[in-house]
Structures are given as C-alpha cells and as structure tokens.
Structure 1
Amino acid sequence: MTTTAQKTRVPSGKRPGAAIRTVAHRPTRRGFLAGAGSLLALGAAGCGGAPSRAGEETEDARTVEHRYGTTRISGRPSRVVTVGLTEQDYVLALGVSPIGVREWFGGHPGALWPWAREALGDDPLPEILPVDELNFEQIAALGADLILGVNSGLTEHEYGTLSEIAPTVAQPKEHADYGAPWQEIARVVGQALGRGAEAEELVGDIEARFDGVRSEHPEFGGATALLAASIDGAAYVYAEGPAPGFLTQLGFDLPEAAAAVFTGENREPQSIGLERLDVLEADVLLMGLYGAEGESVMDEPVYRSLDVAREGRDLAMPEMSRINGALSFGSVLSLPFALDELVPRMAVLIDGDPDTRPEEVS
C-alpha cells in the first residue's frame, strides 16, 4: 500500500484510498532547488524554447480556476505532465499521451495501470516522477506545455514554482486536497486540454453505466456496503474517497454502525479495534489487504464469527490486485474496469449464501 516514503500505512481521507490507498504525508518541494528563478533556467535548457505561459491571450485561450487562482491556457496542449496521483488516466481518456506521470503505486511501466496502458497504445511510455517529493528539475527538463495537479495536495509555493515551468492547474478550491470527485477531475482536465465537450461526454457515458447497473440490480438499492482495510493486522473503515463513492453510486448505503464512527467534518478513516469489529457488519464488505502475509484481520477468530464472514458477504482485495487498483484510482478509465469486475461479484455476495462465494480477486 505504501511507497518507501510512507511509514504508517494509515490512510488519510484527503487521499484516494487503495481501495483506500493513501500517502501518509503530503509530498514536499525538493530542498536543493533555490526557487523559481533557477527553474526558469532549467526549463529553458530542457525544452529548447520558452513554454506557453498562463495569461497568454489567444483566440482560443481559456481560464481554468483552481485553489490558487486562475490559469490561462491557449490552444490544445500536447506535452502534458501530471503531478497529481491519477490525472494520467483522464489525460489518456481524452486522447493525449502524457510525457511525465507521478508514480502513485503499482510499479507498472510508465506508472500506468493496465487500463491506462491500453489507452496509451503505441505512444512512448511517460517518464515516471517520484511520488514522495516533487522533482522540479526533472519536471522542467521535460519541456511541458501544461502541468496538471488536479488530484493533488500542491502547496501554494509548489504551485508557484511549477507555474514558472509551464501553465499549471492545481486542485479545485471547492474540495479538500485529493478530494475532488472523478466527474470534477474529468471536467477540469477537459477544460485545461481544450477538450471540454469530450470530457462531458465521457462523464455522461460512465454515469449512464452506473444508472444501468442500478436498474439491473435493484437489490443494491437500500442495501448496505462498506469499504474496509486490514493494514498490518489492524482494521480501518472508510466513508470518503473513490471506493466508498463507487459503492454509493451503485445504490448502497453506509451501515449505521460504521457511519456512527465518523465524527469529523471530513469523515476521516477510522481505526477499529478487535473488540469493535462488529462495525464491519454489512450486506457487502470489501476488504483491502495490506501488510505482511498472515497478518490479515480476516484471519482473526472474532472476525470469522461475524455474520458478514460466516455468510460469505465479504470480498478480500489484495493490495496490488487490479480491482483494488481500479477502485483506488476511481478514474474515467478505471471505473469501467471496476464495474465489469466487481458488480458480478457483489451480486453474488449480497445473497448471503456462503456456498455461492464469488471468484477470488487476484
């Protein structure tokens, strides 16, 4: 679940979850760079010419609003770098191959999970940027004409430094860091790329798929579903993020007992002790597995005594499984994969018959 920079493995509600994956601290600026002035020189050396700048006026220029103000973008950018955690999926879905992608997790070539690799086609793999800290020197050398940090936690200082390299779009101001829903990310990325109409069509197509699933599975409506994780043998439950949002979009409700443990305004992930594992009771339970093999809370006798376990209504999702990755990304490319793979399994889980367990996740 974690990169080498992630020490605690305790997810934060301000990050997408793997189903619940998160980074334990916000990435910070590289300390060895003196500031924006040095980066201007780096950018000029790396791209062989000055990139377009925010605020440039052309016939097709547009203004994109974000946490730190507005960014003016002209034309259709083609050299795009993504410094958030999942924007590569959105860029690829809109027909642009990124030249630099910030690695989140998975260890895939080009930091692209299978659904994104397929969308890349025969284009070159993007250069991988580290997740723990922004490497401004590396980013500047790529010669980008647009930098996207929509699903990110960019600081104002980081945003200002990136803006000296190329027009940069930071996270939306209406949401917490890493908290914008997939529809919002798609629309902001579409606007930045000059492909707003395509983004709206993409959002509409995926929302129609959710509508179709709810119609085909009326049993989901009003039933309860919960996303949880076993992290080094400890249990956590989640109410916010791509994966819980996926369950809500399918028509499920959060169980009352689980809902009661979320007392903060942002409904941060909560740790659940063995004496409180009854909080995991739900019509459907999705359990992400993280940590050393043999340390899963699902192996505890108290867990095996729960109705959700005895009746076969739980699904284990290993950290690096494609389903876990698809839920973690919760993107316009990964959501169709998650629907294809999870909906049939959830239809089996909800029947409460332990003899009809779904296919295991690998």
Structure 2
Amino acid sequence: MPRDKFGPARSEISRRGLLGGAGVLLLTACAPGKGSGGSGSGSGSGSGAFPVRIEHKHGTTEIPKRPERVVTVGLTDQDTVLALGTAPVATREWFGGKDGALWPWAREKLGDREMPEVLARQELEFERIAALEPDVIIGVNSGLTKEEYDKLSGIAPTVAQPAEYADFGVPWQDMTRTIGKILDNRDKAEQFVTDIEGRFAEARARHPEFDGATGLLAASMSGKAWVYAEGPAPRFLRTLGLRMTSATERLFSDSNREAKQISKERFDLLEADVLVLGLYGAPEDSIAREEIYQQLDVAKQGRDITMQRQTTLNGAVTFSSPLSLPIALDGLVPRLAAAIDGDPSTEVRPVK
C-alpha cells in the first residue's frame, strides 16, 4: 500500500513503508536502566565468532561482542530480533499503535519480558536512544540517511539498510540472515528462511493456478489510490507466482520502482485477476466507495481483497517478517485462490 505500509517516503515513513514496502521498529526485553542488560538470544546456535563485520549502504560496521541491549530503528526489524530470541529495549513506531510497536505475533514472542520503549516514527530521537545504552542499533529495513547513520554510530555500532536494495526494500530473507549474524544466531535465522520458503513452495504446489495469474497490490490512502511494484507485500504476491499486469508494469521503470499514485480516470489500471487493496484513512474517503471503482470488473466480480489498516492480516502481509509471514500465508492464500478460481459466485471471505 502506499509507502506507509506496503512499501516508504521520508515525510511519510508511512506511505513508503506500508504495503509496498512492504512499511516500524524495535523490541525490548529488559529494563532500560543504566547497567541493565537486555535478554540475549536464547539459542546457542551462534558461532561465537566476534567481532562481526556487516557491510551496508553507509559502510561497514564492526560489532565487537554478542549484543544484549538492542535498539531497532527499521520498519520491521523488531520482529526478526524477537524471532531470534532477543527482546529489544526499544522499537520504532510504524503503524498500528500497538504496545511496544509489537503486533500479536511479536507480542507472543516477547512473553513475560519487559515491553520495549517505542520511539517516534517520523524523527529519530537520538538522545533517547543514547540514554538506553544500546550494544547495537539495527536499521536493516530502514531508510537511514548518512547523517542519521553517523549520529547513531556515535551512540553504538549501527547496521543500516543494505546497499543493493532500495531503502525499506530489503527482502525478508536477507534481513533475517543479517540480523542472525548480528545476534550470533545464524543457524536459527537460516532455519526460519528454509521453513518459510518451504511454506511458499507448498502454497504454489497446492495452487498451480497462481502461476501466471495477475495480482496487484494497491492502497487507498485518504482518498488517493497507489499501486506498488516493489516491497514486502508486492514481493509476497510474486513469490506465490502472481505477476503484475503489463499495463501497470508500464508505470514503472527498472530505475524507478517507487509507489505510483493513479488518478480516478486511470482506475482501470487496478484491473487484474485479483487486487489486494489496503485501506488507510477515514472509511468515507476509501476509493472502494467510489462509483468508478465499483464499476471495475475486479470489484463487480468480487475479486478484490480489501484489508483495513488495523486488521491482523493487513499487518502480517505488510510486515512480511519471519513471524508474520506464516499468518499472512494462512490468511491470504485461501482468499487469493477464491478470487481467481474463475467463478464469480465464489465468495472471498472478508478480512476482519
């Protein structure tokens, strides 16, 4: 959805980070008071080989020892940190307004450990981060600028987004492996990758009709329509075998895969075998209420899957993390199958 949720923009981490991207960050496990340590990874699967060096967009970061006090400043990094057994001392709000910036799948992993502090979404709170005395600052799924990175690096070793992907665009596999290296839990990270890739393979095998069908990810944000080509949520559809329509693909170029706003006059670009539409903003402003939208075949035939911002399924698809992807697969795959079965009478179960 707009870069807020499925995909990211600096003034709206929201629009960019949302679906497309897809859109934020950190966890905790222990009291942030001076001298208190966070809960390290609960698994002994790491190599114990420190220092560890991580290359990223702004250089190379050396982490001298296994970190215990972790601050996350990426959109979804907290999920992976928790998945690998560590509770961050702080996270960064993205969307959802959850305690600790933790959606249900991450809250479950936190258990009875202390809730992380939540940092502001729009601007990094450098003094507050410094007061937490982190051992490492993780911004793998982020859009950290060089200036922000330099300031954070003055506080603690900081790992920014990888150079080879667009900001906020790191694939979940790369994010999982990188954070596994940071936390000295590579074996567990690799197991997550293997297990979830296996789930995608099983879904494709059960639904060969996905292969070559067209599927679009779009968002309604305050009455505006956005379509996405890159980011966690669009990548989710591609991994299942769905492809963009050629008409929508022409909106993008190899060098510019940023989310695109489309006018009401071009709502025809939303036509596909299935449309996944995230709804953000006031209900009365939803593009799904527009008559021109309701006249689209994809809407008339019930092949659109609409997800309100706060629904668990929307959050799971948007986060596309090791913890949320199983929930996203369980919730979205049956709906995608119902939408593209060729029978307009098949009801697509509403997302609640």
Query: Letter of the aligned partner of 1:267 in structure 2?
Result: R
Q: Which of 208, 222, 228 is 1:232 aligned to?
A: 222
RMSD: 2.6
Matched, 1:158 2:145: no
More off after superposition, 301-310 vs 58-67: 58-67
| Deviation by residue 1:181-224 (Cα, 9 ceiling, x = unmatched) | 11111111111111122211111111111011000110100111
Q: CA 1:201/1:22 → structure 2, altered by over 3 Å: closer, same or farther?
A: closer
Whether the 8 Å CA contact 2:227–2:260 is kept in 1: the answer is: yes
Within 5 Å, which residues of 2 pair with 1:41-52?
Answer: 47-48=34-35
Q: Secondary structure at the match of 1:229?
A: strand
The amino acid of 2:107's aligned partner reads R
Written as runs of structure 1 = structure 2, the 5 A alignment for 1:275-314 is 275-314=265-304
Residue 164 of structure 1, CA deviation = 2.1
Question: Any unmatched runs of 5+ in structure 1?
Answer: 24-44, 50-57
1:174 pairs with 2:164: yes
Q: Compute the displacement of 1:21 (Å).
A: 7.0
Q: Deviations over 1:111-144 (max 9, x none)?
A: 1001100111111111111111111111111121
Say whether the 8 Å CA contact 1:18–1:319 is kept in structure 2: no
> Is 1:95 aligned to residue 82 of structure 2?
no
- The aligned counterpart of 1:33 is none
Q: Partner of 1:139: helix, strand, or coil?
A: helix
Q: Deviations over 1:311-353 (max 9, x none)?
A: 1111111111111111211111111110011111111111243
Alpha-carbon contact 2:308-2:314 (below 8 Å) kept: yes
Distance in 2, Cα, partners of 1:169 & 1:346: 36
TM-superposed CA distance for 1:232, in Å, is: 2.0
Per-residue CA deviations over 1:213-270 (Å, capped at 9, x if unaligned) read 0001101001110011122222211111111000000010111111112236131111
- Would you say 1:193 and 2:183 are equivalent positions? yes
Residue equivalent to 2:19: 18
Relative to 1, partners in 2 of residues 1:7 and 1:93: Cα closer, same or farther, differing over 3 Å? closer
Aligned partner of 2:56 in structure 1 is 66
Aligned to 1:269: 259
How far apart are the structure 2 equivalents of 1:165 and 1:116? 26
Question: 1:202 aligns to what?
Answer: 192
Going from structure 1 to structure 2, the CA distance change for 1:234 and 1:96 (only over 3 Å counts) comes to same
Which runs of structure 2 are paired with 1:7-156 in the superposition (5 Å)? 15-18=16-19, 22=23, 47-48=34-35, 60-156=50-146
Q: Which runs of 5+ in 2 are unaligned?
A: 25-31, 37-47
Normalised TM-score (structure 1) = 0.85
> Which of 294, 303, 308 matches 1:318?
308
By how many angstroms is 1:20 displaced? 5.7
Runs of 4+ in structure 1 off by over 4 angstroms are: 6-12, 19-23
Following superposition, the deviation at residue 59 of structure 1 comes to 5.7
Aligned mates of 1:353, 1:289 — CA distance in 2: 25
Deviations, residues 61-113 of structure 1 (Å, cap 9, x unaligned)? 22111122212223321111101111000000101111110111101011100
Q: Tell me what 1:35 maps to.
A: none
DSSP 3-state at the match of 1:258: helix
- CA gap 1:113/1:315 in 2 versus in 1, 3 angstroms: same
Is the contact between residue 46 and residue 140 of structure 1 (CA under 8 Å) also seen in structure 2?
no
| Count of residues in correspondence between the two structures | 331
The match for 1:349 among 328, 335, 339 is: 339
Letter in 1 for 2:263: G
- 1:214 maps to 2:215: no
Structure label with greater radius of gyration: 1
After superposition, the Cα gap between the structure-2 partners of 1:8 and 1:249, relative to the gap in structure 1 and judged at 3 Å, is same
**Distance in 2 (alpha carbons) for counterparts of 1:132 and 1:306:** 36
- Contact 2:21–2:168, Cα closer than 8 Å, also in 1: no
Q: Distance in 1 between matches of 2:157 and 2:13?
A: 34
Matched, 1:241 2:231: yes
Tell me if the contact between 1:11 and 1:20 (Cα under 8 Å) persists in the aligned partners. Answer: no
